[in-house]
Amino acid sequence: MAHSIERGRTGPGTAGSRVLTVAALDSVPVYREGLNAVVSRTPGLRWVGHAATQHASMQLCEQLHPNIVAVDSGLDPQGHLIRLLSDGHPMMIIVVLLRQAHVGATFISAMLSAGAHGVVPRDADPRRLGEALRKAFVDRRYTDPSLAPLLTRQRHTTGGDGRAGAGVHRPRMPLSRREYQVLQLVAEGLENAAIAKTLFLSVETVRTHVKSILRKLSARDRTHAVSKAFRSGILVARAEGAPPGEGEAPPAAVGNTIA
């Protein structure tokens, strides 16, 4: 079954300096195209591709190992994907592109607590966005100037360090990375044999993961597990404007070697 992973075209780098690879984890085609253009115009950055779903995002990072990923806050509003990516790829820089509805101290702190290195408004000026990606990589922490006052006020109110304000905890993900991938595919309607083929696992291993998922989510069956996962925010519904199949390519189309 195809998944929403697409490899970008390689472009010219910047002579005499390291070229940083950038990928987008975003379900909105028009925004991905815009981000591609921003990255392509920013010296020292090179676009390597995008993923439009949470499962495809994990596949992309495992196969392409980008230096920087720009994550749409709408694709991962609970921070579960960010936590899994942060734990699985500690050297990768994660920058969250905040939708207007998510611009707030509590949400920003939760994303940083989950493992994000930077936060930038989704509607930021293109030049500023490109520079933000570079700065986040160099400093391993970046907050857009327009967002800094929110965290400053929170620090003054809570006495915290602004990275994870009082009462904001690292999002709890009850599932392992592999269980999360299996659950994503269960939600897409795949049976155990198809999941095994997609993830290069044995059918028995998939059955074991499904049993573990049901136990951890206290679910009666697969349908109940998927329902509870969506209600709790572990899974996020596909955004409007991103119909199944849009821009999809099979994982094999994403090369294991990135120049």
Q: What is 116-152 written as a DSSP string?
A: --EEEETT--HHHHHHHHHHHHHHS-EE-TTTHHHHH
Q: Cα-Cα-Cα-Cα dihedral of 62, 65, 68, 73, to 10°?
A: -10
Under the banding of pLDDT at 50, 70 and 90, the label for residue 149 is confident
Per-residue model confidence as pLDDT tens digits over 10-52: 443 333 368 999 999 998 999 999 999 999 999 999 999 999 9
Under the banding of pLDDT at 50, 70 and 90, the label for residue 4 is low
Per-residue model confidence as pLDDT tens digits over 67-78: 999 999 999 988
Tokens 């676009």, residue? 47
Q: Domains in the chain, ordered, with CATH?
A: 5-158 (3.40.50.2300), 177-233 (1.10.10.10)
Under the banding of pLDDT at 50, 70 and 90, the label for residue 90 is very high
> Do 83 and 171 meet the contact criterion of CB atoms below 8 Å apart?
yes
Q: Is the pLDDT of residue 95 over 90?
A: yes
> What pLDDT does 161 receive?
47
Give residues with Cβ within 8 angstroms of 101, minimum separation 6: none
β partners of residue 143: 119
> What pLDDT does 71 receive?
96
**Rounded Cα distance, 139 and 86, in Å:** 16
> Do 134 and 44 meet the contact criterion of CB atoms below 8 Å apart?
yes
| CA 141 to mean position of chain CA atoms | 17
**Rounded Cα distance, 233 and 112, in Å:** 17
> What pLDDT does 171 receive?
54
Taking alpha carbons only, the member of 119, 120, 109, 112 closest to residue 157 is 109
